[in-house]
Every structure is written in C-alpha cells, then in structure tokens.
C-alpha cells in the first residue's frame, strides 16, 4: 500500500464516526449554497418572483370590449393608439365620433350615444375624448365592457394643459406673457366659470369624469368622496400616467392580453423647448390647490394603484414592465431606425405621421419612417406612430367601407393628406 493511503487509513481510524458524518453534512450544505448562488445570478428565471399566473384554468380568452375614458393631457393618445391597433388586429369595431363632433365625441358636451357615427356601431372599443356619461355609455357599449381610464399628477397635467390650450382657452389667453406663474398667483383674476373651454383651466380630470369641476373639496369634502365612489363603481382600472408601463402591465393582465398587445410609441409629447424642464415646488403646490378636486382624485387613485400592484406582486409587475420596455425599444428600432428619435412635425416627411400642432409656440413631436420605408412591417410601424387625427380618419373610412364593399382594403400610405388641424369645436357648447 502506498504511504499516502496508509496515512489516510490511520487518520480515518482516529476520527469518530460522528465527525465523519458532520463533515459529509457540511460539504453537502456548502455545495448546495454555491449551486443556488450561481443560479440566482445566472438563471433568475429558475427562481420565479411571486407572479400569479395570468391565465386561469381554463385559460381566459382575451377580453374584447373596452371603453377607455381618454382624459386630457394624461398620455391618453398613447393608450388610444394601443387600443386602435388591438381593435384592427382582432377585427373589432371602434366607436368613432360623427364628423360634426370632430375627433372627440362633441366634447365638452356630456356624451350622448348620438355622437357616435352609425358606421361604427355597435362597437367593441371606444377610446376618443368624451365627457363621461354613465347611462349613455351603457346604452352604447355591450354588456361586459371593461371601463378603464388614466390620471396624471395634477401639477404636471396643468402645465401641459396651460401650454397646449393656451390659444383656445380664454382664461389662459388673458394671462400676460402666457405666464403659468401669473395665472396660478391669482387664477380667479383670469378664470370665468362656464365660459368656453373653461374646463381646461380648472379641474379638467373631474370634468372629464363627468363631475362638477367647480366644487372645492375644502368646502365640500363629501362631493369628492362621492365622485371617487362613482369612478370606482364603473372603472375596473384607473391607470397612472407617471407609471405608464406598470399601468399597461395591470391593463394587459385585467384584459388577459399579451405583452405584445400593449407595445407602444409615445405620442403627443411636447418638445423640451415647449415645456417647463421642472415645475418649481411652489408652482406645483399652487397648481394642486387651484385644482384641488383633481388633486384629491389623483391622490386617491394613485394610492389604490399601488395597492393593486402590491396584490399582483410588485416584483412581478416591475419585471413585466422591464420586459415591456425592452420589447418596445426593439420594436421602435425595427420601425424607426437604429436610433429612433422623436422629431418636430416639420422634420416628419410622412404626412400620416405629422402630429397636429396646437399653436406656433408649442411643438408636438412624432416619429418618421426611415427613408424609403417599405415592406411588410411598414403598415404596422405607421400605425404605431400614427397621431390621433389621422388614425381616427383612417379607421372611420375603413369601417364605413366595411359596411359596404368588404373586399377592398383601405390604403394606408396612399390616402389623402389629413387635415392639418384637429379643430376644437368652434362655437360655445351647451352642456
Ligand atoms: N407613455 C407615456 N408616458 C408618459 N407620458 C406620456 C406618454 N405618452 C404621452 N405622454 C404625455 O402625455 C401628454 C399628452 O397627453 P394626451 O395624449 O392625453 O393629450 S390630449 O389630451 O389627447 O391632447 C404629453 O405630455 P406633455 O409633453 O407634458 O404635454 C405627453 O408627453
């Protein structure tokens, strides 16, 4: 026997059986820990985060009837575009406004089913601006329709409204040098309740939700509580613009859609030169105080949003939101080139992709197809970045034709150029 083995035999004899057992146990534990550590960092999918399964058994089919209340300046156009594309891919009917209502359902009037173009009834999907009216929507939409809306932090939203509607809303037009600060220092000096487009200058969220935007929660706390209750009764999901991707994760889980169904391009964004880089804290406080009803709505639904995220599992929602962002970046690169950039309308050659510009002082950005863009992906890419006016016109033409000649597809790239302006109703509206 070699000397080394003889020494080992002697050593083994010297150890008690108990010690050997302890050594074997220690080695196995160490090996297990090393193995698991490697898997955590290299194969995170082997350790699923607490994501409850989306599809129950039997699997839920995708939900096809959705009414999206498109509130103003809250990223609603981006959500609308997701819904329009989903509707097209699944051959669904989209409710669209009668041309006399422009591209909104005769906003700011209370919604009426009469505002809906007959060629777009009965609808599966509705996603254009309107002032919420529960009974009329129930008359229009099929039973089982899921109602969804979106809110945005009121100070950021008000800054966007002030800039976008500066030429349309008399309360804003009266302010010297179009100064948001001047308006918020003394809003009552400029604001007249009940005048044309007054709702863009005071509690726009409350107004869009069908509420009375002139109520103050300071004088009447019960009113805000009642409005919140009504919203909760109807809407299955209130998304939050600041957490857009997380909101889409909740939306797609609610509707049993795929992550691919909620990929998007950001639409209707102002250029950096047309917006405040940051809203000073004092201005933010003043905007919230003036829009106290909206602030109350936002705070409530922001809190319920995060409770809902927690119910699904925060890690799960964040993981899906990350997957969504990665897939979205790949899609944007495929459609708009290696470095897809938002550009001003003057630099967008494809007419169907030129966004409406509210005034010479505000630049609304969009995407363009790379030069010579052609091929099977072109149509999908075009729709991905198509602004509201062009997409609504296109869908209305397509659905009107579907009622008549079914076989001829609506041309997407060769259609006549859209009207450049999304005209707001010209005459004061009766509520
Ligand atoms: N994905 C996403 N995430 C966060 N924010 C987004 C997103 N998409 C659009 N936006 C911002 O939403 C603002 C436009 O809102 P709307 O499309 O609802 O406006 S409109 O009422 O239809 O005119 C507009 O805000 P401002 O740029 O501050 O005006 C957009 O930048």
Q: How confident is the model at residue 261 (pLDDT cuts 50, 70, 90)?
A: very high
Q: What is the pLDDT of residue 407?
A: 37
List the residue whose alpha carbon is closest to atom 10 of ligand 1: 75
How many angstroms separate the CA atoms of 193 and 200, rounded?
11
Structure-token pair, residue 184: 């918020």
pLDDT for residue 405 is more than 50? no
In this predicted model, what pLDDT tens digit does every residue of 112-168 receive, in sequence order?
A: 999 999 999 999 999 999 999 999 999 999 999 999 999 999 999 999 999 999 999
List the residue whose alpha carbon is closest to atom 5 of ligand 1: 75
Q: What does pLDDT average to over the chain?
A: 86
In this predicted model, what pLDDT tens digit does every residue of 226-248 receive, in sequence order?
A: 999 999 999 999 999 999 999 99
Place of tokens 């809407």: 235
Cβ–ligand 1 contact at 157 (below 6 Å): no
- Residue 47 in domain: no
Ligand 1 centroid to residue 76 C-alpha, Å: 7
Q: How confident is the model at residue 37 (pLDDT cuts 50, 70, 90)?
A: very low
Q: How confident is the model at residue 20 (pLDDT cuts 50, 70, 90)?
A: low
SS3 category, 355: coil
Reduced DSSP (H G I as helix, E B as strand, rest coil) percent helix, strand, coil of the chain, to 5: 55, 5, 40
Cβ–ligand 1 contact at 73 (below 6 Å): yes
DSSP H helices in 90-143: 134-140
Ligand 1 centroid to residue 149 C-alpha, Å: 14
Q: How confident is the model at residue 412 (pLDDT cuts 50, 70, 90)?
A: low
In this predicted model, what pLDDT tens digit does every residue of 322-348 receive, in sequence order?
A: 999 999 999 999 999 888 999 999 999
- Residue 404 in domain: no
Q: What is the pLDDT of residue 422?
A: 41
Long-range pairs for 313-317 at CB < 8 Å and ≥24 separation?
313/49, 313/50, 313/51, 313/52, 315/49, 315/50, 315/51, 316/49, 316/50, 316/51, 316/52, 317/246, 317/249, 317/250
Ligand 1 centroid to residue 244 C-alpha, Å: 10
List the residue whose alpha carbon is closest to atom 7 of ligand 1: 75
SS3 category, 404: coil
Q: What are phi and psi of 81, to 5 degrees?
A: -65, -40
Q: How confident is the model at residue 406 (pLDDT cuts 50, 70, 90)?
A: very low
List the residue whose alpha carbon is closest to atom 30 of ligand 1: 269
Q: What is the pLDDT of residue 3?
A: 57
Q: Interior CA angle at 296 toward 294 and 300, to 5°?
A: 115
pLDDT for residue 389 is more than 60? yes
Cβ–ligand 1 contact at 268 (below 6 Å): yes
- Residue 130 in domain: yes
pLDDT for residue 205 is more than 50? yes
pLDDT for residue 296 is more than 70? yes
- Residue 109 in domain: yes
Per the model's pLDDT, the better-predicted residue between 252 and 414 turns out to be: 252
Structure-token pair, residue 113: 């089913």
Segment among 191-205, 208-222, 378-392, 398-412 with least mean pLDDT: 398-412
Looking at residues 385-414, what average pLDDT do you find? Answer: 77
What lies within 8 Å, CB to CB, of 47 at 6+ separation is: 39, 40
Q: Which atom of ligand 1 is nearest to the CA of 70?
A: 18
SS3 category, 297: helix
Taking CA atoms, 398 is separated from 141, 154, 402, 404, in Å, by: 20, 37, 6, 10
How many angstroms separate the CA atoms of 401 and 272, rounded?
40
How many domains, the chain?
1
Ligand 1 centroid to residue 270 C-alpha, Å: 8
DSSP 51: -
Cβ–ligand 1 contact at 269 (below 6 Å): yes
Q: What is the pLDDT of residue 371?
A: 74
Ligand 1 centroid to residue 129 C-alpha, Å: 14
Looking at residues 80-97, what average pLDDT do you find? Answer: 98
- The pLDDT > 90 percentage for the chain reads 75
Ligand 1 centroid to residue 39 C-alpha, Å: 41
Which among 232, 228, 229, 248 has a CA at the least distance from the CA of 240?
Answer: 248
Q: Which atom of ligand 1 is nearest to the CA of 245?
A: 1
Q: What is the pLDDT of residue 256?
A: 96
In this predicted model, what pLDDT tens digit does every residue of 277-287 receive, in sequence order?
A: 899 999 999 99
pTM, to two decimals = 0.84
Cβ–ligand 1 contact at 328 (below 6 Å): no
List the residue whose alpha carbon is closest to atom 21 of ligand 1: 72
Looking at residues 26-35, what average pLDDT do you find? Answer: 44
Pocket mutation for ligand 1, best pick of 103, 268, 384 (most atoms within 8 Å of C-beta): 268
Looking at residues 72-90, what average pLDDT do you find? Answer: 98
Which among 182, 146, 143, 153 has a CA at the least distance from the CA of 166?
Answer: 182
262 and 79 Cβ atoms separated by less than 8 Å: no
Q: Supply the Cα-derived Rg of the chain in whole angstroms.
A: 28
Q: What is the pLDDT of residue 393?
A: 96
74 and 152 Cβ atoms separated by less than 8 Å: yes
Ligand 1 centroid to residue 113 C-alpha, Å: 27
DSSP H helices in 235-343: 244-255, 281-290, 292-312, 314-336
pLDDT for residue 2 is more than 70? no
Segment among 83-87, 175-179, 238-242, 335-339 with least mean pLDDT: 335-339
Cβ–ligand 1 contact at 358 (below 6 Å): no
DSSP 194: T
List the residue whose alpha carbon is closest to atom 3 of ligand 1: 244
Cβ–ligand 1 contact at 396 (below 6 Å): no
ipTM strictly over 0.95? yes
Cβ–ligand 1 contact at 393 (below 6 Å): no
How many angstroms separate the CA atoms of 94 and 123, rounded?
5
Cβ–ligand 1 contact at 116 (below 6 Å): no
β-bridge partners, 238: 149
Q: What is the pLDDT of residue 259?
A: 94
- The pLDDT > 70 percentage for the chain reads 79
Q: Which atom of ligand 1 is nearest to the CA of 75?
A: 12
b/e 39-56 (16+ beta carbons within 10 angstroms → b)? eeeeeeeeeeeeeeebee
Per the model's pLDDT, the better-predicted residue between 8 and 103 turns out to be: 103
CATH of the domain at 246: 3.40.50
Range of the domain at 98: 66-338
Ligand 1 centroid to residue 383 C-alpha, Å: 17
Cβ–ligand 1 contact at 74 (below 6 Å): yes
pLDDT for residue 183 is more than 60? yes
Ligand 1 centroid to residue 78 C-alpha, Å: 7
b/e 233-260 (16+ beta carbons within 10 angstroms → b)? ebbbbbbbbbbbbbbbbbbbbebebebe
Looking at residues 212-232, what average pLDDT do you find? Answer: 96
Per the model's pLDDT, the better-predicted residue between 217 and 42 turns out to be: 217
Q: What is the pLDDT of residue 424?
A: 38
DSSP H helices in 127-261: 134-140, 154-164, 170-173, 180-185, 187-190, 204-208, 221-234, 244-255
Segment among 107-121, 151-165, 302-316, 411-425 with least mean pLDDT: 411-425
């Amino acid at each position: 026997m070699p000397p080394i083995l003889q020494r080992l035999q002697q050593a083994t004899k010297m150890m008690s059986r108990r010690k050997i057992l302890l050594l074997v146990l220690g080695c196995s534990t160490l090996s297990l820990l090393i193995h698991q550590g490697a898997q955590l960092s290299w194969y995170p999918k082997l350790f699923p985060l607490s994501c409850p399964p989306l599809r129950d058994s039997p699997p839920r089919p995708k939900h096809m009837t959705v009414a999206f209340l498109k509130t103003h300046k809250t990223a609603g156009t981006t959500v609308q575009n997701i819904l329009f594309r989903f509707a097209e891919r699944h051959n669904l009917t989209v409710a669209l406004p009668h041309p006399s209502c422009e591209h909104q359902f005769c906003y700011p009037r209370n919604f009426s089913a009469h505002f809906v173009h007959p060629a777009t009834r009965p609808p599966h999907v509705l996603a254009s601006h309107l002032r919420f009216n529960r009974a009329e929507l129930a008359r229009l939409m099929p039973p089982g329709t899921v109602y969804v809306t979106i809110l945005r932090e009121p100070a950021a939203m008000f800054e966007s409204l002030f800039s976008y509607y500066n030429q349309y809303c008399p309360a804003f037009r009266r302010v010297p040098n179009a100064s948001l600060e001047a308006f918020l220092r003394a809003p009552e000096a400029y604001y007249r309740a009940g005048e044309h487009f007054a709702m863009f200058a005071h509690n726009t969220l409350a107004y869009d939700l069908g509420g009375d935007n002139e109520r103050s929660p300071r004088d009447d706390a019960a009113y805000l509580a009642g409005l919140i209750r009504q919203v909760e009764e109807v809407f299955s999901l209130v998304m939050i613009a600041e957490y857009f991707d997380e909101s889409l994760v909740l939306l797609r889980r609610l509707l049993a859609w795929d992550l691919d169904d909620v990929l998007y391009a950001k639409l209707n964004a102002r250029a950096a030169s047309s917006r405040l880089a940051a809203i000073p804290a004092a201005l933010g406080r003043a905007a919230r105080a003036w829009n106290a009803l909206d602030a109350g709505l936002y705070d409530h639904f922001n809190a319920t949003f995060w409770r809902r995220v927690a119910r699904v599992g925060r890690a799960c929602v964040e993981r899906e939101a990350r997957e969504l962002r990665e897939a979205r970046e790949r899609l944007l690169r495929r459609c708009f080139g290696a470095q897809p950039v938002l550009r001003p309308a003057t630099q967008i050659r494809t007419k169907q992709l030129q966004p409406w510009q509210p005034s010479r002082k505000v630049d609304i950005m969009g995407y363009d197809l790379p030069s010579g863009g052609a091929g099977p992906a072109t149509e999908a890419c075009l729709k991905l970045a198509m602004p509201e006016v062009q997409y609504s016109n296109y869908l209305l033409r397509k659905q009107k034709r579907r009622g008549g000649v079914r076989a001829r597809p609506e041309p997407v790239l060769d259609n006549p150029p859209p009207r450049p302006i999304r005209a707001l109703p010209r005459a004061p509206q009766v509520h």
